[in-house]
């Protein structure tokens, strides 16, 4: 009997470990509920709810193939070896199959589990599945990890030209086993269910992920390059939550994008090329996570920036978190995060830079808050995004390049449509005033909307001084703009 241990690969199609397990014989699936571990990792309640809803859908799909899905409790990952060993003994499992996960805790968990199972004579097979390229497989000529994305991407292109990762076979129905699937819990203690309005934005299941991918690659991908920076437009795929939970695979995404571009990834339509580029940023940050394990421990990629004199400003942090900084684009973006579990990429950069530069608050505060609220929260991408924005990371924004929030919103939300959607109290302002109501002057400002909590030019100068004072600083790096 084969066991597939499901984690961030909640799908039936193009699932490497599942396909390999089913090819070898009768298969059972298991998923571990690990609420204490999830809490330690700051996993958002809406993300945990998304996992449960996708497990429900997957259990139905596996059931059609007579593959039972079992649920076991392993509150912390330290409990995983004992829980899995017991299950393997009970079901007389010959081999356990799993798709690799990355990060120091994940790697340690899998190593300890493998050791415990192998000691009992149970085989363990792990597979590359979450990524197109195994971390550590795209390296410089001298064998080190790339620190610059464009160089990393060049090697990825060479590899893809040489061989394109193909999709794996979907398992066929097996003879019914005498094992019943477990009920999937609708909630896990400590993770409040999100409002129905949030759930409706992110329907569970592979059909929905596939629908999003198809509708994006059929039409929208052609406009991706020109529309992806405008938060009022549905210019991006909104697939991140599905990719993070493994409801869709990067191979499926790559194949769909290539199909829309006559098989080209370096030439042809600019929209498809740009989108594939984003999939490669996802790969790059996973490589960084593995190659530089300090970022997995929440340390700065650039060690010299650990000496930065971050401010302890709890009230300003709370104003940022709750979307009441008095800067409309920042507040609208934070409302979007709180209400939908997602934020547009351009705005993630803008709010992150505002927190770490204008407020000079440690990027780790922002990273943690994002993780606690994002439905697509992913350690590598989130850490990469925060360290890029705070100029502490690899290939990050040069420290002197600080976004000005009103200029960003004039550029990317010119009509103020996004701002007015999230801040209806500003809906009466014209398209100039809406970006910076403080400029309206007068004693009262706009009723119900606060004055800015910080002066943009003095806070900018403060950030520049703090970075200049670092012992040795590096200013190189490409721009994300």
Ligand X SMILES: Cc1cc2nc3c(=O)[nH]c(=O)nc-3n(C[C@H](O)[C@H](O)[C@H](O)COP(=O)(O)OP(=O)(O)OC[C@H]3O[C@@H](n4cnc5c(N)ncnc54)[C@H](O)[C@@H]3O)c2cc1C
The reply on whether position 252 binds ligand X by CB under 6 A is no
310 is catalytic: yes
Question: Quick check: 382 binds ligand X (CB under 6 A)?
Answer: yes
Nearer to ligand X, 74 or 156 (CB): 156
User: Binding to ligand X by residue 356, rule CB under 6 A?
Assistant: no
- The answer to whether 54 is a known catalytic residue is no
38 is catalytic: no
173 burial level (CB within 10 Å; 0-12, 13-18, 19+): exposed
Is 345 catalytic? The answer is yes
Give catalytic status of residue 202 as yes or no: no
Q: Identify the active-site residue in 66, 101, 310, 339.
A: 310
Shortest CB 77 distance to ligand X, Å:
20
Q: Which is nearer to ligand X, 68 or 246 (CB)?
A: 246
- Is 34 a binder of ligand X (CB under 6 A)? no
**Listed residue (56, 68, 85) closest to 22, CA to CA:** 68
Position 395 contacts ligand X (CB under 6 A): no
Q: Are strands 2-6 and 95-99 parallel, antiparallel or unpaired?
A: parallel
348 forms part of the interface with ligand X (CB under 6 A) = yes
Residue 237 is a binding residue for ligand X (CB under 6 A): yes
Q: Does 38 bind ligand X (CB under 6 A)?
A: no
Is 3 a binding residue for ligand X by CB under 6 A? The answer is no
Q: Which of 2, 15, 99, 240 binds ligand X (CB under 6 A)?
A: 240
Q: Identify which range of 73-81, 162-170, 240-248, 431-439 contacts ligand X by CB under 6 A.
A: 240-248
Q: Identify the CA nearest to 201 among candidates 329, 413, 376, 346.
A: 376
Number of residues that bind ligand X (CB under 6 A): 28
Q: Nearest distance from residue 35's CB to ligand X, in Å?
A: 20
Contact 342, 334 (CB under 8 A): no
Site for ligand X contains 276 (CB under 6 A) = no
Count the helix, strand and coil residues of the chain and give each as a percent rounded to the nearest 5. 50, 5, 40
Q: How far is the CB of 389 from ligand X (least distance, A)?
A: 5
Instruction: State the alpha helices, DSSP H only, in 248-298.
Output: 250-259, 270-291
**What is the SS3 string spanning 402-438?**
CCCHHHHHHHHCCCCHHHHHHCHHHCCCCCCHHHCHH
Of 384 and 452, which has the nearer Cβ to ligand X?
384
Would residue 281 show up in a list of annotated catalytic residues for this protein?
A: yes
Q: How far is CA 38 from the centre of its chain?
A: 15
Binding status of residue 412 toward ligand X by CB under 6 A: no
Q: What distance in Å separates the CA atoms of residue 381 and residue 388, rounded to the nearest whole number?
A: 10
Stretch that binds ligand X, among 177-185, 231-239, 290-298, 448-456 (CB under 6 A): 231-239
Shortest Cβ 244–ligand X spacing (Å): 5
**Nearest-approach distance from CB 279 to ligand X, in angstroms:** 5
Question: Could you say whether residue 285 binds ligand X (CB under 6 A)?
Answer: yes
Could you tell me if 381 and 350 are in contact, meaning their C-beta atoms sit under 8 angstroms apart?
Answer: no
Strands lying side by side in the sheet with 123-127: 69-73, 27-33, 2-6, 95-99, 123-127
Q: Is 236 in the site for ligand X (CB under 6 A)?
A: yes
State the residue for tokens 């007068």. 442
The catalytically annotated residue of 345, 358, 382, 383 is: 345
Left, alpha or beta for 4 (phi > 0: left; psi -120 to 50: alpha)?
beta
CB of 88 to ligand X, least distance (A): 33
CB 317 within 8 A of CB 361: yes
First to last CA, the chain: 52
Assign 267 to helix, strand or coil.
Answer: coil
Nearer to ligand X, 244 or 456 (CB): 244
Smallest gap from residue 290 Cβ to ligand X (A): 15
Pairing of strands 123-127, 27-33: unpaired
The HSE-up count of residue 330 (CA atoms within 13 Å, CB side) is 35
**Site membership for ligand X, residue 281 (CB under 6 A):** yes
By annotation, the residues acting in catalysis are 278, 281, 310, 345, 363, 386
| Chain contacts with ligand X (rule: CB under 6 A) | 228, 236-240, 243-244, 278-279, 281-282, 285, 345, 348-349, 352, 370, 374, 376-378, 381-382, 384-386, 389
């Amino acid at each position: 009997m084969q066991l597939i241990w499901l984690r961030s690969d909640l799908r039936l199609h193009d699932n490497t470990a599942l396909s390999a397990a089913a090819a070898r014989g009768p298969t059972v699936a298991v998923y571990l509920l690990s609420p204490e571990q999830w809490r330690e990792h700051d996993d958002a309640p809406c993300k945990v709810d998304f996992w449960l809803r996708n497990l429900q859908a997957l259990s139905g799909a596996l059931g059609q193939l007579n593959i039972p899905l079992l649920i076991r409790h392993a509150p912390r990952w330290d409990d995983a070896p004992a829980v899995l060993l017991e299950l393997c003994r009970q079901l007389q499992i010959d081999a356990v199959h799993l798709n690799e996960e990355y990060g120091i805790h994940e790697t340690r968990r899998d190593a300890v589990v493998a050791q415990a199972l192998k000691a009992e004579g149970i085989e363990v097979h792990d597979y590359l599945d979450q990524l197109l390229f195994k971390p550590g497989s795209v390296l410089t000529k001298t064998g080190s990890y790339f620190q610059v994305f464009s160089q990393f991407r060049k090697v990825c292109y060479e590899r893809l030209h040489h061989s394109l990762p193909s999709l794996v076979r979907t398992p066929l129905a097996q003879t019914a086993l005498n094992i019943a699937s477990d009920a999937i819990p609708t909630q896990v203690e400590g993770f409040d269910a999100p409002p129905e309005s949030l759930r409706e934005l992110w329907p569970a299941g592979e059909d929905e992920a596939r629908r999003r991918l198809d509708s994006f690659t059929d039409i929208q991908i052609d406009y991706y390059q020109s529309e992806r920076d405008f938060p009022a437009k549905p210019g991006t795929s909104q697939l991140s939550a599905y990719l993070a939970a493994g409801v869709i695979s990067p191979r499926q995404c790559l194949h769909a994008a290539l199909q829309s571009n006559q098989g080209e990834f370096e030439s042809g339509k600019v929209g498809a090329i740009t989108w594939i580029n984003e999939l490669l940023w996802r790969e790059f940050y996973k490589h960084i996570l593995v190659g530089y394990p300090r970022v997995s421990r929440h340390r700065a990629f650039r060690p010299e920036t650990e000496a930065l004199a971050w401010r302890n400003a709890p009230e300003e942090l709370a104003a940022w978190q709750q979307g009441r900084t008095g800067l409309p684009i920042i507040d609208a973006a934070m409302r979007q995060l709180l209400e939908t579990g997602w934020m547009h990429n351009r705005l993630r950069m803008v709010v992150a830079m505002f927190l770490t530069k204008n407020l000079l608050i440690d990027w780790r505060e922002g990273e943690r808050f994002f993780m606690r609220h994002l439905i697509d929260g992913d350690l590598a991408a989130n850490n990469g995004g925060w360290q890029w924005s705070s100029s502490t990371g690899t290939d990050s924004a040069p420290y002197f390049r600080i976004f000005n929030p009103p200029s960003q919103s004039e550029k990317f939300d010119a009509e103020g449509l996004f701002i007015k959607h999230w801040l209806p109290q500003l809906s009466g302002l014209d398209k100039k005033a809406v970006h910076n109501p403080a400029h309206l002057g007068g004693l009262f400002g706009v009723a119900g909307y606060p004055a800015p909590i910080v002066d943009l030019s003095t806070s900018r100068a403060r950030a520049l001084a703090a970075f200049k004072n670092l012992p040795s600083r590096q200013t190189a790096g490409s721009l994300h703009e």
